[in-house]
Amino acid sequence: MTKFIICNWKMNLGNQDSIEFLNQIEMKSLNNDHQFIICPPYTSLGLVANNLKSKESDWHLGAQNCSDQDKGARTGDISAAMLKDLGCNYTILGHSERRQYHQESNESVKGKALKVITHGMIPIICVGETEEDYIQGKTIDVLTEQLSGSVPSNQCIVAYEPVWAIGTGKVPTIKEIETVHQSIDNVMQDLGFLNIPIVYGGSVKPDNINQILSKPTVSGVLIGGASIQPESMNAIIKEVCL
């Protein structure tokens, strides 16, 4: 089964840095078992799209957010149609940083996901518990609420990203990741959504990626910090592709 390697650049790598970064990445050594998806900031999408095309790369392009509206008086927003037009196949939605800093609700994530699907792209819908939820044993309750509220159909990827694991170097045990992914799959089945890929995100690095990817319930990874340094990105490619 193809595994997704989703690179979330967050608010990093402007135009020049993006190109310098891509020129240092060893895309040639790739095999077909992995689908790489780069999600740069909006401002670098066009340039990254052209760069991938000029290299005849099979890496895909994704955005990090989009509007839940089609067009009109939404200053500063970007629509799903605009992203599709730039060559995006995927859009990350409901990342915990957006839920935290932009008060994004499950309802709004669902609205955005519907627009993404309508425009022929795949939403990557993020869910995850805080450290407090985790300590109190509320992980599954929190995830169930987020999933029921924000996933509109089976045409999506779910990203399990424990908030306490993002950018911290802390990672759940493999057993915990497997158990949570199984629970997410159960919730999806209860909602009538079958065979949804579930990827893991939170402090994925070259030295833990293969162990995480080796589990059948893990359909891929979402990588933040390690995806913006050429050295660690090349190390990741080497780990998973060679």
Q: Which residues would be at the binding site for ligand PGA (CB under 6 A)?
A: 8, 161, 166-167, 201-204, 222-226
Does residue 181 have an active-site annotation?
no
Residue nearest to ligand PGA (CB): 224
Q: How far is the CB of 56 from ligand PGA (least distance, A)?
A: 28
Quick check: 125 and 161 in contact, CB under 8 A? no
Quick check: 126 and 150 in contact, CB under 8 A? no
120 vs 167 by CB, closer to ligand PGA: 167
Closest CA to 10 of 230, 228, 234: 228
Q: How far is the CB of 43 from ligand PGA (least distance, A)?
A: 19
Length of the chain: 242
Q: How far is the CB of 227 from ligand PGA (least distance, A)?
A: 7
Of the listed 97, 104, 129, 161, which one is catalytic?
161
Return the exposure string of 123-149: e unless at least 16 CB atoms fall within 10 Å of the residue's CB, then b. Answer: bbbbbbbbeebbeeeebbebbbebbeb
Give the count of beta carbons closer than 10 Å to the beta carbon of residue 114: 16
Does residue 161 have an active-site annotation?
yes
48 vs 221 by CB, closer to ligand PGA: 221
Of the listed 34, 95, 119, 181, which one is catalytic?
95
Give me the active site residues, please: 95, 161
